[in-house]
Structure 1
Amino acid sequence: MKPNPPPTQQNPDSVPPSPSEDKVPPFPSEDKVPPFQRGARGDKPLSWGIVGGGILGMTLAQRLIQAGQRVTLIESAPQLGGLASAWQLDDLIWDRHYHVTLLSDSHLRGLLRELGLEDQMRWVETKTGVYANGQLYSVSNALEFLLFPPLNLIDKIRLAVTILYASRIQNWRKLEQISVVDWLRRWSGDRTLKKFWLPLLRSKLGDNYPKASAAFIWAIIARLYAARRTGLKKEMFGYLPGGYARLLEQFSKALTAQGVKINLGQPVQRVQAAPSGTEITFRDGSSQIFDQVIITAAAPLAAQLCPQLTETEIHRLHSIQYQGIICASLLLRRPLATYYVTNITDDGIPFTGVIEMTTLVKPEEFGGRTLVYLPKYVPVEDTAFQLTDEELKAQFMTALLKMYPHLHPDDLLSFQVSRVKYVLPISTLNYSRNLPPMTTSIPGIHIVNSAHILNGTLNINETIQLAERAIKEILSPQPTQL
C-alpha cells in the first residue's frame, strides 16, 4: 500500500471562501475512465440516464461526461446528495448524517481536489470514548487502551492482536466463509467477544449480527486502522468547512458546467427496454428514452423498478439484507465530552453511539453551539421506524441525560430525526458470490449501488471508488461480471 500524502498545510485560522465564491474547475481526471464507447449510431455518444442523485450517481455522471457521453441525472428529492445531503437545524445548515474524511480516503480527496476544495480541508486529531458499566472511558491511545477497566490484560492483548492481524489481511474473500462471531471468538476469546465486540456488532447490525461474515469487521478495522498515524495511537480526521452542503454545491455546479442535465423532484416509476432504447417512466406518467440507464437505488428498490428482470435476478436483489438507520441530530448549548465517537457497550441505551461533531469541527461553524448525532441502526422492518419524533426524543434524551449528568433538558435547542430504511448492506456469508452483476440481463440497464462495495464499509470514499470502478466495467467492451 502506498503511503498517503500529508494533508495540505494551511493557516488553521484562515476563513475559506463562501460556496458562492468558489470557482468551478474543469474535471481533469481523464485517466479515471476509458476512452468513450461510441454508440450504435456512428460517432454520436450514447445518452445515459442515471437514476439517483446521491454521491454515487453524481460521480457516475462525472465520469461518464469525462468519457464523452451525454448524461441526465435524475433525482426524486428536491436536492442532490442522498445520504450526504444537508438540512436545517434551528438556523444551522449542516449534514443530515454524520460523515468524516480520513487521511487514507484517496478517492474522496481526489474528488475534492478536482473541485478545488482539498486545500480547504481541516485536519484534526480526534479522541475515542467508550460508555461501559455506566461510565465514560477514553480509549484514544495505547496507554488508555491498556487501562480500560472492563477488559483484563489478557483480553486487551488478544484484542490488540486481533486488530493488528485484521489490518494486515489482504485476501478478504476468505473471511466471507466464516461468521464474524466465530472469527472474533477464535482471535479475541469469549470474554472480549462478549464485553467488546458483540455490543459493537449489535450497534451496527442489531439482531442481524450473527448473519454477517468476518469480512464485515475486517472492512471496519482496515479503514479505521489506516487512519491511525502510528499503530493504535492517534487518529487524524478531516472536515470541509461548510460540511457536505459545500461539496454538493460545488459538485452540482461542476456537473452542470460540463453538460450534465440535472432533473430534480422526478420520482421514477419504472425502467424497461423499449424498441427505441431504454425507457424511464416517471410517476407523473411522462417518460424519457435513453441509450443506457444506471439505477443506483438499493437492491430491493431497484428490483421493483425493473419488471423485465429475470426471476433469478429479482431473487438475488431481494436476498441482499440491509440495515436501516434512525439518526437524530441535536443542537445543544454546551458540549458533552471530548470524544468524536463514543461507542456504547451497555444494554438499554436506545441509540448505538454518540457522535459529537464539535470535537472535530470548530464550534464557530455552529455559532458556538454543539452538534451531536445519535444513530440507531435497525433492521428494515423494525417497528422503531413507526415512532414519532417526539417519542424518539423522549427516549433519546432520557438516555443522554443519564450518560452526561451535567447536561440539562434546557440545553437542547433543536432535535430532528432522519429515517432511512435501506442504508447498510450486510456482508453475509459468501456475499460476493451471490451478488448480482452490475450489468443486468435487460439490454441497456445497469444496477450499481452500495451493495457492490465488496471490500470496504459504506462511506463517501468507498462510494466514489465504486462509481469509478463501475464506469470502467460498464464502458469496457466486455463488462466484468461479479
Structure 2
Amino acid sequence: MSRIIVIGAGPMGLAAAHRAANLGHEVDLVEADSVPGGMAAHFDFDGLSIERFYHFVCKSDAPTFALMKELGIQDKMRWAQTSMGYYMNGKVHPWGDPIALLTFPHLSLAAKIRTGLQMFLTTKRKDFASIEALTARQWLEGGSGREVYGKMWKRLMELKFYELSDDISASWIATRVKRIGNSRRSIFQEELGYIEGGSQTLVDALVSAFVAKGGRLHLSSPAEKVKTENGRVTGVTAGGRFFPADAVISTVPTPLISKLVPDMPADWLQKYDAIRNIGVVCLLFKLKKSVTKNFWINIVDPNIEIPGLIEFSNLRPIEDRVVYVPYYMPTTQPKWRWTDKQFIDEAFGYIRRVNPTIQQDDMVGATVGRLRYAQPVCEPNFRERLPPIQTAISGLQIADTCFYYPEDRGVAESIRYGRMMAEAV
C-alpha cells in the first residue's frame, strides 16, 4: 500500500482521503484552513451553525446518497418542497412550472412555448455532445429565442460573468437546467434536499471515519510545494513540514498549481494557467421576517446589481430567516475591492426593494464571505482544454471543480471525483 498525501480538505479532498484510507493506504490530508470542509464548511453566525456558501441537494446526487449510507448517516437526508421566482418590473413572479410559465406576463405566447419545450427536452437528454461547440447564448437563443434570452437570461449572465458572459458553454448551462429540472416531485412541484444539521454533518462524519481508519488530518498546514525527483512525486511540503509520499492528490484551485508544482512541464502549466476563474463575495443575512416564499429568486432589474437571492430558511428550517446574497464577479472588477459594509448596505437595500415591508431593524445580523477562485469559466469545448487528471509527473493527480465539467460545482461531483482519484492510485 502507498503513502498518499491529499492536498485540500474540501469535499473532494475529504472524499479522496476517506476512500484511500478505506483501501488501506497510509494517508495524510493537509489543509490550509483551520477547519475542514472547504466551501462546505460551517461557521458560527451569532449562535447558528451554517455554511458560509449555500448548498442544496438534488435528486440526481447519487454519490452523496451512497456516501451518506456508507457513513451511516443516510437518515439525515431531508427533502422540502421549494419554489423559484423571478423579480422583474418591481414584482416577484412565480417560475419553474407550466402554470407559472403560462401566466408569466412579460413573455409572448410563442416565447413561452419555445422556452417550455427547450427546458423540458433538456431534462430528458442523456448528453449534450451536439451543443458542445455552442455558447450558452447561442443555445438559448436558438431554442427559446432572442426574446427569452434578452428578458430572462442576459442580465443574469452579465451579473455573474461580466465581460466573460458570452464565453460560457451551452453544455455547462444545460447541465444545470437538467439537474434542477429533474429534482421534482411532479411537473408542478420542485423538491430540493438538505442534510439535517447542514453540510457540517457530512464533513464531521467523513473526518471521523477517515481518522478511525488511521488517517491523519493536518489543519492550518497550507501546501507549499509538491516535490519530485526523476519525474516522480516524492512528497509535499506543507505548513513548514515535509510529508514523504508515493502518491499525491491535489484538489486545490488550478490557478495555484504553477506555484505549487514548479517542476511540472511548461506546456502543462500553461494549461492550468489558462483556466479562468471568477470570485464570489457571498453575503449572509439573518432577518426577522421572510423576503418571499421562494427558495431562489432570479433578479432581472437594471437598477439591481445582483443576479438573485437564496432564502435558505425556505429549504432548511431555521428559527430566523436566513438569506444568501451572492456577488459573483471576476476579481479584476473594481467592486471586488469594496468593504464588507459597502456590500452589506447595498445588498440589504436590494432585499428591501424586493420586499418593501422589510425595515432596517428587521436585519438581525449580516456577514460576508469571500472566495477568489469560486467558479471556473467553462467555454465551449472546455473538456478539450483540461489536462488529464493523472499528470506528467508519475504519482501526481490534480483536479479541482472545473474538472466536473459539464457538471457545475457540487458536493456530489466532489465525492465522485475524490473517490475516483483515490481508486486510481
- Which range, TM-score by smaller chain? over 0.9
Counterpart pick for 1:381 among 332, 335, 339: 332
CA distance in 1, matches of 2:402, 2:96: 32
Give the partner amino acid of 2:62. S
Residue of structure 2 equivalent to 1:101: 57
TM-score normalized with structure 1 length? 0.85
The question of 1:422 aligning with 2:422 is answered no
Question: Per the alignment, in what secondary structure is the counterpart of residue 350 of structure 1?
Answer: coil
Residue of structure 1 equivalent to 2:246: 291
Residue of structure 2 equivalent to 1:145: 101
Question: Per the alignment, in what secondary structure is the counterpart of residue 347 of structure 1?
Answer: coil
Shift in CA distance, 282/469, structure 1 to aligned 2, threshold 3 Å? closer
Shift of the alpha carbon at 1:351?
2.2
Counterpart pick for 1:398 among 349, 364, 367: 349
Shift of the alpha carbon at 1:205?
2.6
| Contact 1:47/1:291 (<8 A) preserved | yes
Shift of the alpha carbon at 1:169?
2.7
| Contact 1:51/1:296 (<8 A) preserved | yes
| Contact 1:53/1:74 (<8 A) preserved | yes
- What are the within-5 Å matches in structure 2 for residues 428-439 of structure 1? 428-439=379-390
Shift of the alpha carbon at 1:449?
1.1
CA distance in 2, matches of 1:174, 1:302: 32
CA distance in 2, matches of 1:290, 1:145: 56
CA distance in 2, matches of 1:203, 1:221: 18
Question: Per the alignment, in what secondary structure is the counterpart of residue 101 of structure 1?
Answer: coil
Encode CA deviations 1:147-203: one digit per residue, 9 max, x unaligned.
111112111111111112222333323322111111111111111110112233234
Structure number with the bigger relative contact order (C-alpha 8 A, sep ≥ 6) is: 2
- What are the within-5 Å matches in structure 2 for residues 440-479 of structure 1? 440-472=391-423, 474-475=424-425
Question: Per the alignment, in what secondary structure is the counterpart of residue 126 of structure 2?
Answer: coil
CA distance in 2, matches of 1:289, 1:90: 41
Identical-pair percentage: 27
Question: Per the alignment, in what secondary structure is the counterpart of residue 177 of structure 1?
Answer: coil
Residue of structure 1 equivalent to 2:315: 360
| Contact 2:310/2:324 (<8 A) preserved | yes
CA distance in 1, matches of 2:110, 2:99: 15
- What are the within-5 Å matches in structure 2 for residues 14-29 of structure 1? none
Counterpart pick for 1:223 among 155, 179, 183: 179
CA distance in 2, matches of 1:50, 1:380: 28
Encode CA deviations 1:252-294: one digit per residue, 9 max, x unaligned.
111111111101110111112047952212353x322111111
- What are the within-5 Å matches in structure 2 for residues 208-357 of structure 1? 208-231=164-187, 233-274=188-229, 278-284=234-240, 286-357=241-312
CA distance in 1, matches of 2:7, 2:39: 15
Stretch moving more, 331-340 or 457-466: 457-466
| Contact 2:285/2:323 (<8 A) preserved | yes
CA distance in 2, matches of 1:150, 1:130: 11
| Contact 2:13/2:251 (<8 A) preserved | yes
Shift in CA distance, 165/204, structure 1 to aligned 2, threshold 3 Å? farther
CA distance in 2, matches of 1:469, 1:460: 14
CA distance in 2, matches of 1:87, 1:341: 22
| Contact 2:63/2:415 (<8 A) preserved | yes
Give the partner amino acid of 1:451. C
Shift of the alpha carbon at 1:328?
0.1
The question of 1:67 aligning with 2:23 is answered yes
CA distance in 2, matches of 1:281, 1:122: 41
| Contact 1:324/1:420 (<8 A) preserved | yes
| Contact 2:184/2:192 (<8 A) preserved | no
Name structure 2 gaps, 5 residues minimum. none
Residue of structure 2 equivalent to 1:119: 75
CA distance in 2, matches of 1:230, 1:182: 30
CA distance in 2, matches of 1:73, 1:348: 46
Equivalenced residue count is: 424
Shift in CA distance, 324/122, structure 1 to aligned 2, threshold 3 Å? same
Encode CA deviations 1:321-363: one digit per residue, 9 max, x unaligned.
1121110011111111100000111123232211111111223
Question: Which aligned runs of 4 or more in structure 1 are off by greater than 6 angstroms?
Answer: none
